[in-house]
Amino acid sequence: LFLSLSAMLAEELRKVMVSCETGSLWVFGYASLIWKPGFTYQRRIVGKILGYSRRFFQGTTTHRGTPEWPGRVATLLKSNDALEPVHGVAYEVSAEEDILKALKHLAEREMLTGGYHFDRTTFFPLYSDECQEQSLIVYIADAGNDQYLGDCAIEDQAYQIALASGVCGPNSEYVHKVVEFLRKEVASADEEKIANLDPYLLKLSRLIHEYQNSNNQCISKSHENLPYLVKVPCVDEEFRLKRCQSTPDIS
């Protein structure tokens, strides 16, 4: 039933997501899609979208956390600044068979199990010779989904991430991979430039590192000190394993 739902959803999404001009599917990745898209693509282009803020407000009780200690993964919020950039990568998927496979994978990964919906925005390549400005889709977590954690003090976000781990590994690794992408593929290891690209992300990463290298801070809090942890429902183990197995490419 789960797989048939994703197939039907993919077919419906194809009608609205594929460009009428090029016949291609364009998808923007700003977190795990950067390093592990899980589908075949023809082009991968580094660049940015505007008018959003990257935040680690979506809970995860499988891939980077557990029901007892959820992790935090990335989503996007609409920014008050229409020019605020979020750097990531655009994928172009051209072949008809690849498009359907990609949409099925993304339906399972982002929508049916992830609590995300899609939005359409404009992509600006880092290097203008790679492509022109391009309309594409981006996946954003629904604030009302059952694993959405939302905002809290950035120190508490960092603490929660520092201790969380799931079937794909430590939650901290997920955050640091986004930072490494900015460092290597966007800023060319220019530390001053990196600091200006995403101040929230850089501060979060630094705080996580500090917690993990502390001798006593990481054992000084409890669930009672972090009440937002209990907002994520403890799904039964059978459903949790099914969610893990159905989206093996998420990391």
- Tokens representing residue 30 in the block: 């700003």
Active-site pick, 110, 130, 155, 224: 110
pLDDT of residue 49: 97
| Catalytic-residue membership of 130 | no
Query: Could you tell me the two tokens for 127?
Result: 């290097």
Position 202 scores a pLDDT of 94
- Give the burial class of 10: count Cβ atoms within 10 A of its Cβ; 0-12 exposed, 13-18 middle, 19 or more buried: buried
Reported as a single tens digit per residue, the pLDDT across 103-151 is: 888 887 776 566 788 899 999 999 888 888 999 999 999 898 888 999 9
Give me the residues of the chain with pLDDT under 50, please.
1-3, 5, 215-220, 222, 227, 230-251
For residue 55, the cross-strand partners are: 75
- Share in percent of the chain as helix, strand, coil (round to 5): 40, 25, 35
Q: What is the pLDDT of residues 138-155, one digit of tens each?
A: 999 989 888 899 999 999
For residue 153, the model assigns a pLDDT of: 94
Residue 226 confidence (pLDDT): 56
Contact (CB, 8 A) for 71 and 60: yes
Residue 4's Cβ-count burial label (10 Å; 0-12, 13-18, 19+) is exposed
**What is the pLDDT at residue 39?**
93
The predicted structure's pLDDT at residue 245: 47
Q: How far apart are CA 61 and CA 167, in angstroms?
A: 9
